[in-house]
Structure 1
Amino acid sequence: MPRTLGQVEEMISAKLACGVRATIIGSPVGGGAMVPLPGVDNYAQSEDDLARHDAWLAGLVDRYPERLRAYVYVNPFGGAAHLHRVAQTVRQPQFVGLIANTSVAGRYLDAPEAEDFFALAAEVDLPVLLHPPAKPAAGAGLENLLLIEQLGRFGDVTIGLACCVLGGWLDRFPGLKLIGPTAGGALGLLVEKLDRIMRPTHWDGAPAPPQGPSPQQDRPAAGTARSAMGPPRLMRRLAALAAPPSSYLPRIWVDTATPSANAVDLALRIFGPDRVLFGTDSPPLPHSESGATLDLLDRLGVTGAVRDGIGEGNALALFGDRLPPAPRDAVASGR
């Protein structure tokens, strides 16, 4: 684990020095490992282990109630007992939402088996931060940890958010509150491509035809003409979307946890200025990232109501009164 994950007081002090008064903490791997390790399966953690991890987070919030709130880690495919415990835990006042992986053991959340998870998120009516896992599906084949961190996980955010849209979950559960880190990955660059999934021009504007055989199915005889783009079940779900996929993007929140000013600028235009949250991914990144993110907003010339929204207003609208109240001195000074 990065050393900064244990520096709670240092983190709070460094952020206060930059003007950041509160942080939502949480782990995208529960109590597991943040990097791929031989023999370590983050999805094999016991409920007792995960409960101890949540109790540790709650203890930190109790220790610093004006500075911290937390997410509860959830495995979207963890089963009924797991989801029940998560539902009970997230109702505790120390927690403000859920944190789940964009892919789980190579599987994305458009899978029908994720329905119980999305139903839970809708029931508790709290935000879900969709964070890439230690072993992102989009990083399959990458061995270098830095490539996994900077490329694989970024790609997993992109595909993971898209799969939530294409899976129809925002139609089925209109109140879902999904947050994508790193300014939503590259999703903002794929607006037109998302819509082409519904109406691919190279298929004469018709929905893409069904998938060819899987390795477990009989293959067609040699020379047999067959079109292949997606499994029939997925195509039926795509056809059932109430609107073009791109139209769902303004219903997703993203954060500023990226070193790219271009990515944040694009997020403001695609997702909307009321859907961008101040985020730094610090820790595990160095505590100086808070100041770096503020500098990034300066370089973009983000001021006035838009900057106030990114800094706090959008988070207050999303999380409501579950966030730490502003200290009296901050209220008195207008901060």
Structure 2
Amino acid sequence: MKIDIHSHFFPKISQQEAARLDVERAPWLATHGREGQIMLNNQPFRPVYDALWDAERRLEHLDEQQIDIQIMCATPVMFAYDVAIERALPWAQLMNDKALEMASANPQRLKVLAQVPLQDSDAACREASRAKACGHIGVQIGNHVGAKDLDHESLITFLTHCAREEIPVLVHPWDMMGGADRMKKWMLPWLVAMPAETQLAILSLILSGAFERLPRNLKLCFAHGGGSFAYLMGRVDNAWEQRDIVREDCPQKPSSYLDRFYVDSAVFDPRALQLLVETMGADRVMLGSDAPFPLGEQQVGHLVSHSALPEESKRQILAANARSFFSLA
């Protein structure tokens, strides 16, 4: 069985609908048959195809890839964390309702994670609870809100709420560091800054001591295999042992917090997958494709299925862990 916990959608939002959020920057979708373009005002942002917005085409994709269940979440450009809450909250609600509408084509196979206006923790908590009551099985959040990383008190408040309400959280990198001056082409923000953003998000929770304050029952998963985290775990432990400034707010060795979060399997290389599983444990990795984007896994589950991992580890990663994490029947 295969359960893909990390895929994206973008509903058919017109330019007029997007203007209610922000005339200049709100994303909308221009389509031409099976092809489309995510637009920011009149500027093209990303070419896409119909599996991103068409439920029937998405289900055909699942059949082609032999995926039993796929969990969809917002394309991060939809987050709108820098917009006034009076406009951002209705936008999140609209996106969440449209996500459920897409999933209604086959609720047994299509599941959805909600987006929330994370710039306002109270509104984000309310929308997360509303979305859960409406049928979302969790929430997806960006790894930061402006200069606020996940250890910021407002985001700790939101994560604590999710723990209390038993709402699983997928953390996705976005709004990448670096800027256009040094990462001007070759998709360098996606190839360099995006893994670094996830590494930063995980370490902000570990080294700040935030995990000491968060409930242990919080279900937290980081996309893209945790970014560069597994590869650099030894460097972090060494720094903690050698420098008191690293230990200042982190009472335990950083690697001791590995049981507080999960990662997906979107690492694209068998050696990287092996390291990831050795670092996190097979019970902390879930199948994630990043579909239907070109930077996602093109043969969903192939990396795990054809790896040298034990069969029991494959079974856990391909489906069993996701069933438990998202409380799927």
The more displaced of 271-280 and 150-159 is: 150-159
Q: How far apart, in 2, do the equivalents of 1:57 and 1:300 lie?
A: 33
Shift of 1:274: 0.9
Q: 2:288 aligns with which of 259, 273, 279?
A: 279
Matched to 2:63, the amino acid is: L
Given that residues 20 and 290 in structure 1 are in contact (C-alpha distance below 8 angstroms), is that contact kept between their aligned partners in structure 2? Answer: no
User: Unaligned 5+ residue runs, structure 2?
Assistant: 1-37, 39-46
Structure 1 stretches (4+) deviating beyond 6 angstroms? none
Task: Indicate the RMSD between aligned Cα atoms, in angstroms.
Answer: 2.5
Counterpart secondary structure, 2:315: helix
Q: 1:74 aligns with which of 92, 116, 120?
A: 116
Partner of 1:15: 62
Shift of 1:8: 3.1
Partner of 1:56: 98
Q: How far apart, in 1, do the equivalents of 2:268 and 2:292 lie?
A: 15
Partner of 1:318: 325
Q: How far apart, in 2, do the equivalents of 1:53 and 1:308 lie?
A: 33
Q: How far apart, in 1, do the equivalents of 2:208 and 2:179 lie?
A: 21
Q: What number of residue pairs does the alignment pair up?
A: 277
Q: How far apart, in 1, do the equivalents of 2:231 and 2:149 lie?
A: 20
Q: 2:307 aligns with which of 292, 300, 312?
A: 300
Counterpart secondary structure, 2:325: helix
Who wins on radius of gyration, i.e. which is larger? Answer: 1
Q: How far apart, in 2, do the equivalents of 1:84 and 1:138 lie?
A: 33
Counterpart secondary structure, 1:190: helix
User: Unaligned 5+ residue runs, structure 1?
Assistant: 33-40, 209-229, 326-335
Q: How far apart, in 1, do the equivalents of 2:117 and 2:232 lie?
A: 27
Q: How far apart, in 2, do the equivalents of 1:25 and 1:103 lie?
A: 20
Partner of 1:26: 73
Q: How far apart, in 2, do the equivalents of 1:311 and 1:180 lie?
A: 16
Q: How far apart, in 1, do the equivalents of 2:157 and 2:270 lie?
A: 37
Considering fraction of residues, name the structure with more strand: 2
Considering fraction of residues, name the structure with more helix: 1
Q: How far apart, in 2, do the equivalents of 1:162 and 1:124 lie?
A: 25
Q: How far apart, in 1, do the equivalents of 2:295 and 2:152 lie?
A: 35
Counterpart secondary structure, 1:65: coil
Q: How far apart, in 1, do the equivalents of 2:126 and 2:144 lie?
A: 21
Given that residues 81 and 145 in structure 2 are in contact (C-alpha distance below 8 angstroms), is that contact kept between their aligned partners in structure 1? Answer: no
After superposition, the Cα gap between the structure-2 partners of 1:196 and 1:77, relative to the gap in structure 1 and judged at 3 Å, is farther
TM-score with structure 2 length normalisation?
Answer: 0.76
Given that residues 195 and 244 in structure 1 are in contact (C-alpha distance below 8 angstroms), is that contact kept between their aligned partners in structure 2? Answer: yes
Listed one character per residue, the Cα deviations across residues 37-80 of structure 1 (whole Å, up to 9, x for unaligned) are xxxx6531521111111100011122221211111113444232
1:1-335 pair list within 5 angstroms? 1=38, 2-4=47-49, 5-29=52-76, 31-32=78-79, 42-44=81-83, 45-93=87-135, 95-133=136-174, 135-137=175-177, 141-144=182-185, 146-172=187-213, 173-199=215-241, 201=242, 203=243, 207-208=244-245, 237-238=249-250, 241=251, 243-285=252-294, 289=297, 291=299, 293-321=300-328
Listed one character per residue, the Cα deviations across residues 135-193 of structure 1 (whole Å, up to 9, x for unaligned) are 12366753337111222111111111121222333222211111111111111122233
